[in-house]
Amino acid sequence: MIDKLNLRIAVIGAGPAGIAAGRELLQRGFSDLTIFDSLSAPGGTWHLHSYPGLACDVWAHSYSFSYAPNPNWSANFVEQPEIQAYLAECATVFGLDPHLILNTHIESADYQGDGTWQLQTRTGESYVFDIVINAMGNQHTPRFPDVPGLDLFLGDSWHGTRWNHDVDLTGKRVVVVGSAASAVQIIPEIAPKVGHLTVLQRSANWIMPRGRKFYTQRQIHRARRYPALIKLIRKWQRLLMGQVEYAVTKGHKRMGQFESRVLRFIDRTVDDPVTRKALVPSTPYGCQRGLVSDDFYPTLNRPNVDLVASALEEVTPSGIVTAEKRAIEADIIIYCTGYRILDFDRIKVTGVSGTSMADAMGDNPRAHKGIAVPDFPNYFFAVGPNGLVLNVSYFVTAEQNAETIARLLVEKEAGNAKAIEVKKTAFDEYNEWMADRFGRFTWGASDCHSYYRNAAGHAPFLFPGNFKEYKGLHEEISLEDYNTT
């Protein structure tokens, strides 16, 4: 057996991907493991965020680790507290608690040239590791609209993902800027208590009914007693999620079927014909992230809720001004305007010959099969550029990537290599292969403008294919794709 006890490994981030990586490494015998997180508990985005209505839009039994099924989910779609509790429990059950260093922000990671990395914390502590795995996730840094006047508003304002629980919304005039993922969860929760709510919608989204159902105690007991039942549920849900691949493929009949279902949902739940028309997206299904909500459309029928189909032009001391120059006064502004996806400035990473990760990524972030980048030896992404697969849950991809990274490290140790670095040729060939496939999907097409594509027109977020293809590509990965020293 290979002695791996001296290989020092750092995982940055204790969300789902970090937990998956930590568990896989311990399973392989890598016990000199440290998992850093800037938060006070594991859970990642599910510990960081706590806005009203925060829930996962993937079925609970699928939004969990394959090796840690949870028979105790209260519903088919669950909210933040349950997911956070599940992740914390997983960290404990997997034996990760002794390896956690919490409330610690990694400021920089510098390659030392001898196969090691030096990590510096915000408070000045320094650590040296042989391997670094970046598991920081993408839903961390809020993105605010680039308009004048954000700091002029005299009322309370905050980003939806940084909820201000100290402010009482009762009877207030509230403007929610945005109508996408977080907005469709927040708006139904706050509408009954505010005096008036204005929803500012720049572009409409395709919103499917969620069909949330709570499990009975009998159903929960049955899931506990028969673990195979959860496996069957996951398989069935995987088949249903697989339809998403077809729905976002150009020219496939599933796209029209998905769109028709949403249009029927709008027609039967929204009373006002003008509002109904404003809710019909102008882009094909899949260009923007598909959403699910049972309550968003019906909430727009409330007498104290207005949908304004316009972009934000500016913020004033008393409210906002739309692109049509309409002034709307407000006591509170809530920005539901997303995140800085693939933010490589969160920590300063410096590789071979002073290469900056932020510069290496530039306006076209890329990686080799979602996990590795040239000029950064012994450095991996738990889920990197183009490392998410649309037809499975985040957990599935995180597990696959963790398995691949751990396997590479076993091969590295077996070959007594000091450092491994993905070859530029392998990196370029893979990304050229991907580039030829983006146009097959609505989210990857050049005429699609959404968070799937950045300002430079690149699509660095999703893998252009299904999980079967992604898994096959990962099974082909070996040290032949890497330079070893």
Question: Which tens digit of pLDDT belongs to each residue from 378-401?
Answer: 999 999 999 999 999 999 999 999
Mean pLDDT of 154-161: 98
Mean pLDDT of 262-269: 98
Mean pLDDT of 43-68: 97
Mean pLDDT of 137-143: 90
- Band (pLDDT 50/70/90 cuts) for residue 448 is confident
pLDDT at 64 over 80: yes
Q: For position 239, what pLDDT does the model report? A: 94
Q: For position 4, what pLDDT does the model report? A: 45
Mean pLDDT of 157-169: 98
Mean pLDDT of 273-300: 97
pLDDT at 2 over 90: no
Q: For position 1, what pLDDT does the model report? A: 41
Q: What is the pLDDT of residues 305-346, one digit of tens each?
A: 999 999 999 999 999 999 999 999 999 999 999 998 888 989
Q: For position 457, what pLDDT does the model report? A: 81
Q: For position 92, what pLDDT does the model report? A: 99
| All domains in the chain, ordered by first residue | 9-141+340-484 (3.50.50.60), 156-213+221-335 (3.50.50.60)
Q: What is the mean pLDDT of the chain?
A: 96
Q: Give a three-class secondary structure readout of the chain.
A: CCCCCCCCEEEECCCHHHHHHHHHHHHHCCCCEEEECCCCCCCCHHHHCCCCCCECCCCCCCCCCCCCCCCCCCECCCEHHHHHHHHHHHHHHCCCHHHEECCCCEEEEEECCCCCEEEEECCCCEEEECEEEECCCCCCCECCCCCCCCCCCCCEEEECCCCCCCCCCCCCEEEEECCCHHHHHHHHHHCCCCCEEEEEECCCCCEECCCCCECCHHHHHHHHHCHHHHHHHHHHHHHHHHHHHHHCECCCHHHHHHHHHHHHHHHHHCCCHHHHHHCCCCCCCCCCCCEECCCHHHHCCCCCEEEEECCEEEEECCEEEECCCCEEECCEEEECCCECCCCCCCCEEECHHHCEHHHHHCCCCCCECCCECCCCCCEEECCCCCCECCCCCHHHHHHHHHHHHHHHHHHHHHCCCCCEEECHHHHHHHHHHHHCCHHHEHHHCCCCCCCCCCCCCCCCCECCCCHHHHHHHHHCCCHHHEEEC
Q: For position 349, what pLDDT does the model report? A: 98
- Band (pLDDT 50/70/90 cuts) for residue 150 is very high
pLDDT at 5 over 60: no
List the single range of 28-32, 268-272, 408-412, 457-461 with lowest mean pLDDT.
457-461
Q: What is the pLDDT of residues 459-485, one digit of tens each?
A: 999 999 999 999 999 999 999 999 999
pLDDT at 16 over 50: yes
Q: For position 343, what pLDDT does the model report? A: 86
Q: What is the pLDDT of residues 65-81, one digit of tens each?
A: 999 999 999 999 999 99
pLDDT at 285 over 80: yes
Q: For position 110, what pLDDT does the model report? A: 99
Q: What is the pLDDT of residues 426-440, one digit of tens each?
A: 999 999 999 999 999
Percent of the chain topping pLDDT 70:
99
pLDDT at 8 over 50: yes
Mean pLDDT of 256-273: 98
